[in-house]
C-alpha cells in the first residue's frame, strides 16, 4: 500500500509525503501524481521519510521523470543508494535533494 498526502502547497511548489511501499500498481499511481503536479507547479517536493521499499520499476519511473523541478527530501539512505548507487549499469538519477 502507498499513501500520497499533500502536506503543503504554495504558488510555486507542492510537498507530497509518500508513505509505504512503491511497488506494482502504486508505481503508476505515484508517477501520475508527480506528473499532475509537475504540470501545475514549478517545484514538486517528494518527502520520502516514510517510504519503506521501492522496487525496480519505481526506481526506473523516478529516473524517467527526473527533472530539476522534482526533488526528493528526507530520503532514507538505503533508498537513496538504490536511486543513486555507484553501479555503473545504472544511469544516475541526480534528483536534487534537501
Average pLDDT, the chain: 88
**Domain-located, residue 96:** no
Using the predicted structure, report yes or no on whether residue 89 has a pLDDT greater than 60. Answer: no
How many distinct structural domains can be found in the chain? Answer: 1
Domain that holds residue 72: 2-84
For residue 39, the domain's CATH number is 3.30.750.24
How far, in Å, CA of 62 to CA of 11, rounded? Answer: 24
- The pTM of the full predicted model, rounded to 2 decimals, is 0.84
In this predicted structure, what is the pLDDT of residue 85? 72
pLDDT in tens, 30-40: 999 999 999 99
**Domain-located, residue 34:** yes
Inter-axis angle of helices 77-84 and 56-65, to 10 degrees?
A: 70
Amino acid at each position: 500500500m502507498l499513501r500520497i498526502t499533500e502536506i503543503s502547497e504554495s504558488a510555486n511548489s507542492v510537498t507530497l509525503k509518500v508513505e509505504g511501499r512503491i511497488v506494482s500498481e502504486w508505481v503508476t499511481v505515484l508517477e501520475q501524481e508527480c506528473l499532475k503536479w509537475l504540470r501545475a507547479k514549478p517545484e514538486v517536493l517528494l518527502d520520502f521519510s516514510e517510504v519503506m521499499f521501492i522496487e525496480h520499476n519505481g526506481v526506473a519511473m523516478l529516473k524517467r521523470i527526473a527533472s530539476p523541478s522534482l526533488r526528493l527530501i528526507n530520503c532514507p539512505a538505503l533508498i537513496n543508494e538504490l536511486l543513486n548507487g555507484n553501479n555503473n549499469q545504472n544511469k544516475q538519477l541526480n534528483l536534487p535533494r534537501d
